[in-house]
Amino acid sequence: MAENGASAKRTSSDPSATSPAPSRKSPAAPAEGVPCWVDAQLADVEAGKRFYGGLFGWTFEEGEEGEEETAGETVWARLDGEPVAALVRKTDGRMPTVWSVYFHTPDAAALAGRIRAGGGQIVTPPHPVGGLGTTALVADPEGAVFGLWQPGTHPGFGRRHAPGTFAWAELYTRDTEAANAFYGDLFHDALFGPDAAPDFGRAPVLGVFPAEMPPHFLVHFLVRDAEAALGTVARLGGRVRVPPFETSYGGVAVVSDDQGASFALLQR
């Protein structure tokens, strides 16, 4: 089962391999640590377009003219015209087939330094993606990999918390107290501040997954009818990895697409 925490060894020779999609809107910046983007690393982007278009009703477009860093490697997924995710063509077959979540930061380099000082690792150092922003891949002390996004012209999600869009990121970890301390220090306002409305939880790996599963982030997409969505996943060639179960934030089922990238369906 492919998952984000599978490797702190994940590397890319192409900085565009983790580039979020463009948007021309400029909403107010979220607090540091708010999930702001997701992308999937896939061997076959055309197959990904068929799968996620059929499941969520997404439409797709190639990188826009002048965005040489992402053109040809990334397609932008939109719902009702708003950017919701990206599908990224893997440039190295050794890279995992995986969904990744990116957290907003006003300063990716400074945040990467704090992550390293807190016992985490820098997988891909902060680097610009044209004028879209600055990105990095990092890992927490247990090896769960996540992304950082410092916005330029692309602030992140154009739409979220609607059916077919991002709704939650759950970190499955071996030590929830240590995870709360690590992420609470990094992202205190987003998680515990007076105006916090977190889309990011922490749970023990063994509560859902077998003991050999490494710590990882699981991206959740909202659906109106989980049973119907599971049927669509199967029809499109995907698999149910963990049957539906209840959580404090809604009903969840873990699935994978027809290339093995795992994600969750969330019904509230």
Question: Tens digits of per-residue pLDDT, 20-66?
Answer: 544 444 456 899 999 999 999 999 999 999 999 999 999 999 865 33
In this predicted model, what pLDDT tens digit does every residue of 124-138 receive, in sequence order?
Answer: 999 999 999 999 999
What pLDDT does residue 28 have?
66
**Block residue for tokens 């205190």:** 188
Give the residue from 259, 261, 255 showing the smallest Cα distance to 227: 255
pLDDT for res 17: 42
Tell me: pLDDT of 8 over 60.
no
Which pLDDT band, with edges at 50, 70 and 90, does 80 fall under? very high
Q: Residue 66: what pLDDT?
A: 37
Answer whether 93's CB lies under 8 Å from 42's CB.
Answer: no
Say whether pLDDT at 181 is over 60: yes
How is the chain split among helix, strand and coil, in percent rounded to 5?
A: 20, 35, 40
Helix 45-56 to helix 226-235 angle (10° resolution) is: 150
Distance from C-alpha of 21 to C-alpha of 36, rounded to nearest angstrom: 11
Ramachandran region, residue 55 (left: φ > 0; alpha: ψ -120 to 50; beta: rest) = alpha
Identify which has the larger pLDDT, 91 or 138. Answer: 138
Considering the chain, what percentage of its residues have pLDDT values greater than 90?
A: 82
Both structure tokens of 220: 């959740």
121: amino acid identity, one letter:
Q
Give percent of the chain above pLDDT 70: 86
In this prediction the pTM is: 0.89
Using one digit for the tens of pLDDT, what is the confidence trace for 100-110?
Answer: 999 999 999 99
Q: Round the average pLDDT of the chain to a whole number and report it.
A: 89
71 pLDDT more than 60: no
What whole-number distance in Å separates Cα of residue 42 and Cα of residue 250? 28
| Beta-sheet strand order (sheet of 35-42) | 59-62, 74-79, 82-89, 35-42, 98-104, 145-151, 133-139, 121-129
- Tell me how far apart the alpha carbons of residues 265 and 136 are, in angstroms, rounded to a whole number: 26
pLDDT at 67 > cutoff 90: no
pLDDT digits (tens, 9 = 90+) for 224-247: 999 999 999 999 999 999 999 999
Instruction: Please check the confidence at residue 4 and state whether its pLDDT lies above 50.
Output: no
Place of tokens 């009903």: 251
* pLDDT at residue 54, as a whole number: 98
Distance between CA atoms of residues 193 and 32, nearest Å: 11
